[in-house]
Chain A
Amino acid sequence: MSGIKDRVAVVGVGCSKFGEHYDRSAEDLVCEAAFEAYADAGIEPARIQAAWVGTLSSGFSGTTLADFLKLYDIPVTRVENYCASGMDAFRNACLAVAAGMYDCVLALGFEKLRDSGQRGLGTFETHPVIGHGTTAPSLFAMAANRYFKTYGIGKDALAKVAVKNHHNGTMSPKAHFQMEVTEAQVLAAPLICSPLGLFDCCPTTDGAAAAIVCSREAARAIRADPIWVKGIGLAVTSGEPYLKPGFAYTGFPATRAAARSAYEQAGITPRDLDLCEVHDCFTITEILNYEDLGLCAPGEGARYVAEGRANIDGGAVAVNPSGGLKSFGHPIGATGVRMIYEVCQQLWHKAGRRQVKNAELGLAHNLGGPGAVGCVTVLGNG
């Protein structure tokens, strides 16, 4: 396998304001993200030869994007892979360009969650009685309790993730929240799924994000500083890990497999990274992600954040400078592409107050289902 390193590049990105958009439709958000990406790349919509749209439940088929953007008579494919739908849309766009079918395509993710009034992010039920009552936080809370038991740590470790990501969010104008929280506030918040409290959970957010992917030649023609795709890995494990004997609940094999593939294609180790945008749907998930992505050893995740190593200026690999899902928000299908947006801002050194100094190599990690779908992308500016 040759991998995708330097064969395709991102030439433009866009991202809607994330938040509770009761007054705006999915169409409004998708158009905001897409036209920002066109403008960022300096291209006309007609330049797009194919598109992939990631959404969990806010639309069906390619028409959901085609009708908003009037992208007709070209291939448009809807991608659904749980909460990793957005990055899988981006991945499919990259693969099609790398295959030589197209030289300029659009990957866009979106979700309109606040229109439904549903509490939380919904469930994964596929059977009338097995797994009945499962909620998204419950699946990760079970990992938290097992992780606590395995490594002898407590809730305060999780709170530090929330404090960091809320702090980063204050420097992210497009984030859902620009609000500092204290460790005491996080620990005193009402329980959602023990041990996860309200501030351990990402919010329910509306938003859209877009990326324009080009071949090497087309990218160089469009801009002098494209962001190169160094590696993309995706791995799927059981969507019912709770029924898998021996599943340890102290990490997600899907992330580990996807990261291994992405690192291998990029020819890097985790230490080479300047920053990561990771899937912190819940605070425990971010801690598990540190370990699964190899930023630290198994069982060291709590210390990684407690010692400030995950901070923007922490002296190690900064994690979630955007504020992460925790603070930026998690419109499900949008998130994976929003992560690509953030890593590009960082690698273009346009991230303002949250800029990771001299960033050259960044990683984006999208996780779907009960840790079942892992997608990892490594991007570089050189």
Chain B
Amino acid sequence: MAGVLATGVSIPRYRLPRELIAREWGGQAVGGEKAVANHDEDSLTLAVNAAVALGPEAEHADAVFFASTTSPWAEKQGAATIAAVLDLPAAVRTLDFGDTLRAGTSAVLAALDAIAGGARRVVVAAGECRLGEPESPGELSYGDAGAAVLLGPEAGAAEVVATHSLADEFLGTWRTRTQEFPRAFPGAFETRFGYARVLTEAVKGVLTRAGVTPAQLAAVALPTPNARAPQAVAKALGLDPKTQLQDGFWTTLGDTGAAQPLLMLAAALERARAGDLVLVAGYGDGADAILLRATGQAAAAGVHRQIEVKRTLASYGRYARFRRLVRKESQAADVSTPVTLWRDRKALLPLYGGRCPRCGTVQFPRHRVCIECGAADGLEDVKLARRGTLFTFTNDYLFESPDPPVCHAVVDLEGGGRLYVQVTDCDPERVEIDMPLELTFRKIHEGGGFHNYFWKARPL
């Protein structure tokens, strides 16, 4: 049967301590913190970076699915962008899954169907940036993250043993087209009659199909909308919450929505030994349950390192600025045109430069005439490395940004080519010449009335 070949995660560097939120509104302090997408990240950039983290095998995918309830586009596909960054051929099948927190696991089920239908490599990339209403439980809870899995017809790191999925019409949490923030019906209605009921049913269903008892499970990844919810389900299923439940990272990252099950799966597979049974479930308008058996082949997405490498937001105000919860009328007048973005798509998304056939100089973008020797006989396409060294930089306090100063840097890439990009996710005081940097896919601005994406650099 099919399996998970690789996992990749993209956890934003920024954290907002819940204490800062409580202090802002005078509410009761809740422990922990939540992951906050930088102002230049959205659910799609998180998914792209998670997909890139899957490694080179993802560049052979014949289908890409993007899962999110918070796609930056209401009309326009996110999966196509992921496919373009991965430099996949036009024959790739792309599809977005949305509208329910179950989108991540449902996309995995669809991927398994695609593999059953002959697909060799399927990327499922989830990204989530749910905006909690200020001074609401959602604001305390929601965290941002991206997580991706690469699936294929062989076992890889974990073989899919069985799946079970059910649909269930239930109005517990929703957001209409005109509502900005998700709303949850107050009280325990959803927890008891939605979440617990259908999750229990889905998990039981997959165990029955596989002929596996709850005691045999090494790790169970249940959706974690709050720290306590999975424990009730675990008890009802006869699981030991202490030893069998996979951490949902609610305390450290928050409820990461559609990305959460894939993030938990990545974390579970990092620790899994050969033969371990891992169950991952998704919830929302029904539930999905996927049972896997780890093969012992490494799938190291670096979840814990990404949780630990962080920058703490100094104020609620900075968070509010990132998420545009405060009004600013002096926005920079960014300009753009889809025509240039389309014409330069090969440079901007999969990051191709040119190599001069005469002098060998790698350059970005791919010029018509070599920047070094003037050869005009056509440069060869060359995909640029995603790592490099800082050649020079400045912290710019003049250019308006939600996170000043803007750090501009000239970066010499491994294997050649020089990029001029912004350095993001950084402590400006600690940027220095010769420091190693990695590239990260970001939203640059919204000029033209749409999202403009390109690469930035950040400290490792």
Which A residues fall within an 8 A CB radius of B? Answer: 119-120, 125, 127-135, 137-138, 141-146, 149, 190-196, 238, 240, 242-247, 249
User: A54 to B336, alpha carbons, bound, how many Å?
Assistant: 28
Since A132-B445, A135-B396, A245-B362 are in contact, a sample of 18 more A-B pairs with Cβ atoms closer than 8 Å, ordered by chain A residue number, is: A128-B448, A129-B336, A129-B445, A130-B344, A132-B454, A133-B406, A133-B422, A142-B410, A143-B392, A145-B392, A193-B398, A194-B428, A195-B394, A242-B418, A243-B363, A243-B365, A243-B418, A246-B372
Q: Please name all residues of chain B whose beta carbon is closer than 8 Å to the beta carbon of A247 when the two chains form the complex.
A: 418
Q: Please name all residues of chain A whose beta carbon is closer than 8 Å to the beta carbon of B371 when the two chains form the complex.
A: 238, 243-245
Q: Please name all residues of chain A whose beta carbon is closer than 8 Å to the beta carbon of B428 when the two chains form the complex.
A: 194
Asked whether, in the complex, the Cβ of A129 is within 8 Å of the Cβ of B408, the reply is no
Q: Please name all residues of chain A whose beta carbon is closer than 8 Å to the beta carbon of B397 when the two chains form the complex.
A: 190-194
Asked whether, in the complex, the Cβ of B393 is within 8 Å of the Cβ of A129, the reply is no
Q: Interface code B341-379, partner A: CB below 8 Å = 1, 0 otherwise?
A: 100100010000000000001111100000110000000
Given contacts A128-B335, A194-B405, A249-B391, contact A146 B433 (CB under 8 A): yes
Asked whether, in the complex, the Cβ of B372 is within 8 Å of the Cβ of A245, the reply is yes
User: A73 to B256, alpha carbons, bound, how many Å?
Assistant: 71
User: A246 to B373, alpha carbons, bound, how many Å?
Assistant: 12
Which B residues fall within an 8 A CB radius of A? Answer: 334-337, 340-341, 344, 348, 361-365, 371-372, 391-399, 401, 405-406, 408-410, 412, 416-420, 422, 428, 433, 444-445, 447-448, 452-454
User: A192 to B348, alpha carbons, bound, how many Å?
Assistant: 29
Q: Please name all residues of chain A whose beta carbon is closer than 8 Å to the beta carbon of B334 when the two chains form the complex.
A: 132
4 nearest CB pairs, A to B? A141-B394, A242-B420, A128-B336, A146-B392
Contact of A128 among B341, B391, B406, B410 (CB under 8 A): B341
Asked whether, in the complex, the Cβ of A138 is within 8 Å of the Cβ of B398, the reply is yes
Asked whether, in the complex, the Cβ of B392 is within 8 Å of the Cβ of A191, the reply is no
User: A134 to B405, alpha carbons, bound, how many Å?
Assistant: 12
User: A129 to B416, alpha carbons, bound, how many Å?
Assistant: 21
Contact of B399 among A128, A129, A133, A245 (CB under 8 A): A133
Q: Jot down 7 A-B pairs with beta carbons below 8 A, ordered by A.
A: A128-B340, A128-B448, A132-B452, A135-B396, A141-B396, A149-B392, A193-B405
| Most chain A CB inside 10 Å of its own CB: which residue of B362, B408, B453 | B408
User: A93 to B186, alpha carbons, bound, how many Å?
Assistant: 78
Q: Please name all residues of chain A whose beta carbon is closer than 8 Å to the beta carbon of B410 when the two chains form the complex.
A: 142, 242, 249
Asked whether, in the complex, the Cβ of B453 is within 8 Å of the Cβ of A129, the reply is yes
Asked whether, in the complex, the Cβ of B394 is within 8 Å of the Cβ of A127, the reply is no
Given contacts A128-B452, A129-B452, contact A240 B362 (CB under 8 A): no
User: A194 to B433, alpha carbons, bound, how many Å?
Assistant: 13
Asked whether, in the complex, the Cβ of A129 is within 8 Å of the Cβ of B444, the reply is yes
Interface SS of chain A: loop
Contact of B395 among A146, A194, A245 (CB under 8 A): A194
Asked whether, in the complex, the Cβ of B420 is within 8 Å of the Cβ of A145, the reply is no
Q: Please name all residues of chain A whose beta carbon is closer than 8 Å to the beta carbon of B361 when the two chains form the complex.
A: 245
Q: Please name all residues of chain B whose beta carbon is closer than 8 Å to the beta carbon of A143 when the two chains form the complex.
A: 392
B103 to chain A, nearest CB (A): 28
Asked whether, in the complex, the Cβ of B362 is within 8 Å of the Cβ of A138, the reply is no
Q: Please name all residues of chain B whose beta carbon is closer than 8 Å to the beta carbon of A192 when the two chains form the complex.
A: 396-398
A186 to chain B, nearest CB (A): 16
Asked whether, in the complex, the Cβ of A145 is within 8 Å of the Cβ of B393, the reply is yes
Residue of B nearest to A198 (CB): B397
Q: Please name all residues of chain A whose beta carbon is closer than 8 Å to the beta carbon of B444 when the two chains form the complex.
A: 128-129, 132
Contact of B447 among A128, A131, A145 (CB under 8 A): A128
Asked whether, in the complex, the Cβ of A137 is within 8 Å of the Cβ of B418, the reply is no
User: A131 to B444, alpha carbons, bound, how many Å?
Assistant: 10
Residue of B nearest to A250 (CB): B392
User: A144 to B433, alpha carbons, bound, how many Å?
Assistant: 12
| Most chain B CB inside 10 Å of its own CB: which residue of A133, A137, A247, A249 | A133
User: A87 to B341, alpha carbons, bound, how many Å?
Assistant: 36
Contact of B408 among A133, A146, A244 (CB under 8 A): A133
Contact of A138 among B348, B408, B417 (CB under 8 A): B408
Residue of A nearest to B406 (CB): A133
Given contacts A132-B444, A142-B408, contact A119 B364 (CB under 8 A): no
User: A146 to B391, alpha carbons, bound, how many Å?
Assistant: 8
Asked whether, in the complex, the Cβ of B452 is within 8 Å of the Cβ of A243, the reply is no
B357 to chain A, nearest CB (A): 16
User: A138 to B396, alpha carbons, bound, how many Å?
Assistant: 6
Q: Please name all residues of chain A whose beta carbon is closer than 8 Å to the beta carbon of B396 when the two chains form the complex.
A: 133, 135, 137-138, 141, 192-193
